[in-house]
Amino acid sequence: MIVSASRRTDIPRWYAPWLMNRLRAGEVLVGEPYRPHRLRRYALTPEGVDAVVFWTKDPRPLLPHLDEIKAMGYHSLLQFTLTPYGADIEPGLEDKGEILAAFQALGLRLGRERVLWRYDPVLLADAINVDWHRERFRALCERLSPYTDQVTLSFLDPYPGRPMDGLRAPDHREAAELAAYFGETARAFGLSAVMCCEAGDYTRYGIGRAACIDRERLERVCGCPLELKPDRGQRPGCGCCESVDIGAYDTCPTGCRYCYANRSPGRTAAGWARHAPDSPLLAGFPGPEDEIIDADCASARASQLRLF
């Protein structure tokens, strides 16, 4: 089993104490997104969890716990989003220079293969154009390439009912111009560039298809073959393998204007207020109205070594 922590909220930034309590307790409850009173109980043990994939914009609260996570027997890697946007777009993030320094420190500590950079989403606005991205993407490549081997790209996706307030995706011409620059620049700095959940073919720009939960990379992290199925629950074009997401929607206080996981500031504030570090749920406590189902938590380690 691969654990995602989390596509739905930034667990390393906001919920690191809760996560450590869940790992120490050896189990977690996760509500189904559209049936919140249907809870699945997952065993969190090194025998069943093959790897934990952390998704974050600021991992610093998690850093003091990395040695304990390793000592428990868990393998891990980080999907680390670092963009050049300011507080007008990503209001809940602190100084980007300090976050960049944390990325570099993690790359030295864990290795380039386990700290993966996300330049995501690529968006445009009144003061943000193609040239703006050119300048800042190159500067970040220069600063981050010694500490990671991959950059994941994607263009802004509008979601129904979630207004973007002046943010927009690049049009076809702008997307092609940016992709050509991103691919060439990443290659110049020794980075593999991949595109996440985009319908077009970007291979002509030297950009492959992303698999953020990537079997081959996870096998190298775990040191063994893994039998992982494609994740059918993600967006069209996603190349990920299956994982169990232990986060919850409407709980991330970072408040990024482009976020799809928070429906409104009021819902997010309510989710944050319900959080308790000692609960088995990320938001709230299980009650008598909840149905708890024990989920299959089998390891994906292959029973036989593959020859090819």
pLDDT in tens, the chain (308 residues): 999 999 999 999 999 999 999 999 999 999 998 898 999 999 999 999 999 999 999 999 999 999 999 999 999 999 999 999 999 999 999 999 999 999 999 999 999 999 999 999 999 999 999 999 999 999 999 999 999 999 999 999 877 767 778 899 999 999 999 999 999 999 999 999 999 978 788 999 999 988 899 999 999 999 999 999 888 777 666 778 999 999 999 999 999 999 989 989 999 999 999 999 999 999 999 999 999 999 999 999 986 444 44
Global pTM reads 0.94
DSSP letter string over 54-109?
EEES--GGGGGGHHHHHHHT--EEEEEE-----TTTSTT---HHHHHHHHHHHHHH
Sheet containing strand 115-122, edge to edge, reads 207-209, 192-195, 150-155, 115-122, 76-81, 51-56, 2-5, 244-245
CA atoms within 13 Å, Cβ hemisphere of 191: 30
Interatomic CA distance for residues 123 and 156, integer angstroms:
5
